[in-house]
Amino acid sequence: MGTKNNIHVLSRGVIIDQDHILLCKTLDLPISFYFLPGGHVEHGESVERSLLRELMEETGAHCKIKRFLGCLEYSFEPGHSSICHNHEYNFIFEAESESLKSNHKIPQLEKHIELIWVPLHQLSEIDFRAEPLRELVPQWLKTLASDVFRSVMI
């Protein structure tokens, strides 16, 4: 993962089912908050391959990437640096899986997070990070743009 002085590259998935979004909730930090499933891109790994790997690790489900939604460059407040890295690029993709449905609880496969389905209309009411994604995710989902991301990574 690197030190707090590095720039972090992450791939995140937006999975929607019946107007609910799948989010991770922190379990091992002093402050509990929600974030999109996904994680760090490893050296030599494409952001798409990274997302599929991370989703499998976190949910146990085979997922498919539908489309690229957007990229958020984000820097946490100085006060957050004790619990998280400070500068990151989040590549956000819409994804889907036949086995991830909002009426089924997802088994906890990683001890530091719980996966929870949250009604989309509640994004602005919860501690969802990175904060700009509260507005960006619904906006990106409404756009019809597709095929706007290119990667030449193998």
pLDDT for residue 93 is more than 50: yes
How large a percentage of the chain has pLDDT more than 70?
84
pLDDT for residue 147 is more than 80: no
Per-residue pLDDT tens for 113-134?
999 999 999 998 999 998 889 9
pLDDT for residue 97 is more than 70: yes
DSSP output for 89-117: EEEEEEEE-TT--TTSPPP--STTEEEEE
Distances in whole angstroms, Cα of residue 137 to Cα of each of 111, 145, 152: 26, 14, 25
Range from 80-84, 122-126, 147-151 carrying the lowest mean pLDDT: 80-84
What domains, with CATH codes, occur in the chain?
7-142 (3.90.79.10)
pTM of the model: 0.86
User: For 123, what's the count of Cα atoms within 13 Å in the CB-facing half-sphere?
Assistant: 22
Per-residue DSSP letter, 52? H
